[in-house]
Structure 1
Amino acid sequence: MAGPGAMYLKFGPDIILCLCPLRVQNKDAQRYLQWLSIPAQTFNVGNYRRNDAPQPTADFFDTNNAEGERKRRAAAEAAVADMLAWFRTGGVVAILDATNSTKERRKWVSDVCAQHGIEVLFVESKCDDQEIIMANIRDVKTTSPDYRGQDPEAAAQDFLNRISNYEKSYKTIDQDGDEDEYTYLKIMNIGKQVIINRIQDYLQSRIVYYLMNLHIRPRSVWLSRHGESMYNLDGRIGGDTLLSPRGEQYARKLPELVRESVGDDRPLTVWTSTLKRTIATARFLPLHYNQLQWKALDELDSGVCDGLTYQEIKDRFPEDFAARDEDKYNYRYRGGESYRDVVIRLEPIIMELERSEDILIVTHQAVLRCIYAYFMKKDQAKSPWMNVPLHTLIKLTPRAYGTEEVRYEANIPAVSTWRGKGSTAKHENPTPESL
């Protein structure tokens, strides 16, 4: 919504970690909001600045560099102008990605937004943990456009120099007690201390709760469907059946895939659903892995269609079959769930994932599609058509500028449970756009 009542999410300031943690948080916030179908967009001032200064050295960010200051100001003004235009098209949450480490810059942002009836939530993430700082510098120097193609050590030193330049003018929000009128969230040392000021509505509270659960320590999430089940062989949906013989093979192979991807000594927590086929798939994993069962990870509830094939659903409930084909994301089975319902019940899982470190999730096709879409910033409305094959381990590693994906194939045959739109085929091969 544009105009009065519109919500504006502002990220900054952070001088200790500079752009590192904010880069993670703004990407995560946009991803989370879009996953919930809330129109959200990031306006990265650095991208605008790179039009005039593609790979500047740290001197560009020196407070005594008048030309650098002029270009940085112009970039911020261009980003805010585009942000305001985006609100007029129906945007709900805009994320202005910039340090805004001075009181003067924050006042300018606040005043401009107030003129357009836009609420501002400032978010400051501050950290003095040197290990975390260096981990983020390593991430940025390998993924940031500012350092692409440069020597890693030289990039790291330049980035440290850039931080030093920001420190010269940095003022933490409300440091002098004269910014109390702002709505803000301050997170110190990855959540060890949190200060919340003037949070007033539901959406702000939801965003704050999400951000409080984030951390920027390196971690990965591994995703796997259960091994092939007896219902998979028959082309039936739902149920609580056991694994097929090939599914049993995958259960025995999974520890090897995990060891190849995770290593022997790295701590890992395993989450499964409460259904037999996921628990059976995870039962051969090392005993020192803590295993938890989540009802929220159970497969999409197909209601009266549970245990039926797609052909049987078409024969018994032709109108429902057509309606689901038309809008698979929003269609709710009679007495069951829709993909949208699954996203809502997965929100606590997402919160727990964001506050945890390395996690392996063994669950079901619809659930993994929703989780995968979240991490990969995919349109949730398209998630029902994504290909998440059986007998495959997927490793997702969130980075500053996106999520890296690696797939490990077990090389154990399994049926395809992917189903094309408008088709009643028992087992199909996915179309290229679903891969």
Structure 2
Amino acid sequence: MTRELTQNRIQKIWEPTKDDRPAPRRAAGAPHFANPPTVIVMVGLPARGKTYMSKKLTRYLNWIGMPTKVFNVGEYRREAVKNYSSYDFFKPDNECAVKIRQQCALAALRDVTSYLKDEGGQVAVFDATNTTRDRRELILQFGSENGFKIFFIESVCDDPSVIASNIMEVKVSCPDYRDCNKTDAMLDFQRRIECYKTSYQPLDPDQYDRDLSFIKVIDVGRRFLVNRIQDHIQSKIVYYLMNIHVQPRTIYLCRHGESTDNLQGRLGGDAGLSPRGKQFAAALAGFVQEQQLKDLKVWTSQLCCSIQTAEHLGVPYEQWKALNEIDAGMCEEMTYDEMKEKYPEEFALRDEDKYYYRYPAGESYQDLVQRVEPVIMDLERQENVLVICHQAIMRCLLAYFLDKSAEEMPYLKCPLHTVLKLTPVAYGCKVESMSLNVEAVNTHRDRPEEVKRGPGTLIRRNSVTPLTSPESNIKKPRIDDLDQAPIHELPPTGASLALCSPSRLPLSLSQTNRPPVSEGGFTLSLSKVNTLEALHCFILSLCQQPHLTLIPSDQHTQRTVAQRTLYTKNLRRRSLGLRDVLQPMKLH
């Protein structure tokens, strides 16, 4: 029985106009979020891992594209009081010290405001003890006055061994105890904790704090208590905190053995190992045996060279599609010289912004970050792991562990036949590079010193190939120009659809005079489908502000690749292809 679909047409369209262009964004290339900024407030006694969680969480949020910064009140206090004497400074009856600490907290909050309002920040982490309800009420009032969401993270731990370990590994080496031996530092810090205990008021989920948004991390992740999660950012924070652990472990990262495509300098592909690549695979097996790692897990991609490298180990391995190399789209299996000759504009665009640049019908480094995020979550849960992956994937993983920026990520050096040993430490990650003494071709390409733009070259992050000539009548606006637009009614006619079958960018763009569009504007051409509302809902869910013009069109059979690209500032941030979602709709 044929299912009858609704015939109601789309009632609203979005059309970019010349007069309603937005002000420049605060942070070029940073994702735009509809949510107000978030302030993460740490809560708990000293030596409970608050700073560890703050730094780790900040690293993760920056890596996924949410500009985040830690504001540690202890650093403000050290700046205000140059010479720390003893735990007496933290006694609740020390009125002078209490005033100093209060002023330091207020100074940190002022900097939080500047960061979130003026510097393009999306999340600020307020790292302090915040053990009293009065202090937390002050922070809630601060958030209300500035339009910030407040999310509390309380770390509760009563395990003496964990507390002692934290003090010895981190606290005794902090600037407060620079000229003090470890025994005296340990004793003083324990007394400092006792000072805080006298006024500590934990978060109360049953009564006093039941309306607040927070997570309690109990005994370093043995248990969690989550209360009133309000948005996507808070849910990601909770999910991340529930995956991390502090047990000692080692992560080994390496690329597959040299492939035949590597020898020819080709992008992507699924070639097998070269003779030297097979030699590296055998050397890697010997290296793993020498490490004598307990319960080592081996992860590979689903590509031939990665699997062949793992097969020499003689141990079970797990294949991850998410670890496949970056998809070069139409440039797949080309050399750099071939790409430069065939698509010179694309080659130049890639050099301008390698992180955001997306290969035509392929992926960008930003897409890879979204793709490998589940891998990061699983890595945080594991103990000893060997990951055999590819150059771009390895760069994404390294950028997370080493806290590298989006600008640095695409140029991190990840040579073939080299194993990187990552050992998480207190507030970071220790890296050791070990070459297995098997020669290999160098696939690293340095950042261009100077990028020259020719006539007609556009500053874009989404690729459109082939590019039109400077004399073309089709004008391609900057992505940042398509931001806000007025709403207009759709004419009461049927819509039409244009799909490009092999491409990941299946919707078409055309410039037309029906209805009039502002200079440089685009219209989206859809064909006759009964699932128009479903398609529209999907686009709306994918793009918070899609800014598309829906028009009737019968001329959708002759399209260039440049016109077969949905060119919006929001869609370029999504790694999922529309074709994968539209295919089940049985469009005609």
State TM-score, norm by structure 2.
0.66
**2:296 aligned to which of 268, 273, 277:** 268
Q: What is residue 277 of structure 1 aligned with on the other side?
A: 305
Identify the match of residue 156 of structure 1 among 167, 186, 206.
Answer: 186
Give the equivalent residue in structure 1 for 2:382.
356
Retained in 1: the 8 A contact 2:66–2:122? yes
Displacement of 1:319: 2.3
Partner of 2:459 in structure 1?
none
Q: 1:411 to 1:28 in 2, by over 3 A?
A: same
Q: How does 1:171-250 map to 2 (within 5 A)?
A: 171-174=201-204, 177-250=207-280
Bigger mean CA deviation after superposition, 72-81 or 51-60: 51-60
Residue identity in the other structure for 1:375: F
From 111, 125, 146, give the equivalent of 1:116. Answer: 146
Residue identity in the other structure for 2:201: K
Whether the 8 Å contact between 2:48 and 2:156 is mirrored in structure 1 is no
The residue aligned with 2:196 is 166
State the partner residue of 2:570.
none
Distance 1:88 1:268, change over 3 A: same
The SS at the match of 2:92 is coil
Structure 1 residue matching 2:214: 3-state secondary structure: strand
Give the C-alpha shift of residue 422 in structure 1: 4.9
State the distance in 2 between where 1:26 and 1:313 align. 43
- 1:139 equivalent to 2:165? Answer no
Does residue 315 of the first structure (1) align with residue 350 of the second (2)?
no
What is the alpha-carbon distance in structure 2 between the residues aligned to residue 79 and residue 46 of structure 1? 10
Question: Mapping of 1:44-83 within 5 angstroms?
Answer: 44-51=72-79, 52-53=81-82, 55-83=84-112
* CA distance, structure 2, for counterparts of residue 180 and residue 74 of structure 1: 29
1:291 aligns with 2:317: yes
Question: Alpha-carbon deviations, 1:17-62, whole Å to 9, x = none?
Answer: x244211211111111111221111111111111114555333323
Identity of aligned residues (%): 43
Give the whole-Å Cα distance in 2 for the aligned partners of 1:400 and 1:380: 24
- Label 1:24 to 1:218 Cα distance change in 2 as closer, same or farther (>3 A): farther
Partners of 1:157 and 1:334 lie apart in 2 by: 62
2:270 partner amino acid: D
Question: Contact 1:6/1:117 (CA < 8 Å) preserved in 2?
Answer: yes
Shift of 1:387: 1.0
**Mean CA deviation greater in 356-365 or 146-155:** 146-155
- Provide the rounded CA distance (Å) in 2 between the counterparts of 1:20 and 1:53: 25
Deviation at 1:234, TM superposition (A): 1.2
Match of 1:97 among 79, 104, 127: 127
> 2: distance between equivalents of 1:113 and 1:141?
30
CA contact (8 A) 1:25 1:214 kept: no
Tell me, which stretches of 5 or more residues in structure 2 are unaligned? 1-25, 27-31, 450-588
Contact 1:6–1:93 at 8 Å: present in 2 too?
A: no
Contact residue 242 and residue 277 of structure 1 kept, 8 A: yes
Equivalent-residue separation in structure 1 for 2:190 and 2:382 (angstroms): 28
CA offset digits 1:364-393 (Å, max 9, x no partner): 100010111111111123211111111221
Match of 1:40 among 68, 83, 101: 68
User: How far apart in 1 are the matches of 2:381 and 2:174?
Assistant: 24
Cross-structure match for 2:423:
397
CA contact (8 A) 1:11 1:99 kept: no
Mark the CA change 1:158 to 1:244 in structure 2 (over 3 Å): closer, same or farther: farther
Go from structure 1 to structure 2 and tell me whether the alpha carbon gap of 1:331 and 1:198 turns closer, same or farther (over 3 Å shift).
same
1:19 and 1:98 in contact (8 A); partners too: no
- AA partner of residue 151 (structure 2): L
1:381 aligns with 2:411: no
The equivalent residue for 2:367 is 341
- For 2:292, the aligned partner's letter is D
The answer as to 2:437 corresponding to 1:411 is yes
1:228 partner amino acid: E
- Tell me the CA shift for residue 92 of structure 1: 1.2
Q: Deviations over 1:338-359 (max 9, x none)?
A: 1111111111111112222232
Deviates more, 1:314-323 or 1:60-69: 60-69
SS in 2 for 1:123: strand
Are 2:113 and 1:84 equivalent residues in the alignment? yes
Q: CA separation in 2, counterparts of 1:143 and 1:338?
A: 41
Which stretch has the larger CA shift, 220-229 or 361-370? 220-229
Question: Does structure 2 retain, via aligned residues, the 8 Å contact 1:24–1:216?
Answer: no
Whether the 8 Å CA contact 1:24–1:399 is kept in 2: the answer is no
Q: 1:186 to 1:60 in 2, by over 3 A?
A: same
Name the CA distance, whole Å, in 2 between partners of 1:181 and 1:349.
34
In structure 2, do the counterparts of structure 1 residues 122 and 344 end up closer, same or farther at CA, with 3 Å as the change threshold? same
Does the 8 Å contact 1:12/1:100 carry over to 2?
A: yes
Call closer, same or farther: CA 1:235–1:21 in 2, change over 3 Å: same
- Tell me by how many angstroms 1:221 deviates: 2.1
- Residues 203-243 of structure 1 show CA distances to partners (whole Å, capped at 9, x for unaligned) of 22222222222222333322111122221111112112222
Q: Which residue of 2 aligns with 1:429?
A: none
Which one has a bigger Cα radius of gyration?
A: 2
- Aligned in 2, Cα 1:354/1:244: closer, same or farther, shift over 3 Å? same
Distance, in Å, in 1 between the alignment partners of 2:48 and 2:279 is: 43
The DSSP-based 3-state class of the residue aligned with 2:236 is helix
Q: CA RMSD in A?
A: 2.4
The TM-score with structure 1 as length reference comes to 0.88
* Residue 267 of structure 1, CA deviation: 3.3
Q: Distance in 1 between matches of 2:192 and 2:152?
A: 22
2:51 pairs with 1:23: yes
Distance 2:345 2:217 in 1: 51
Q: SS of the residue aligned with 1:199?
A: coil
**1:428 equivalent in structure 2:** none
Q: Secondary structure, in 3 states, of the residue corresponding to 1:334?
A: coil
Give the helix-richer structure, 1 or 2: 1
Letter matched to residue 426 of structure 2: A
Distance 1:237 1:143, change over 3 A: farther
2:492 aligns with none
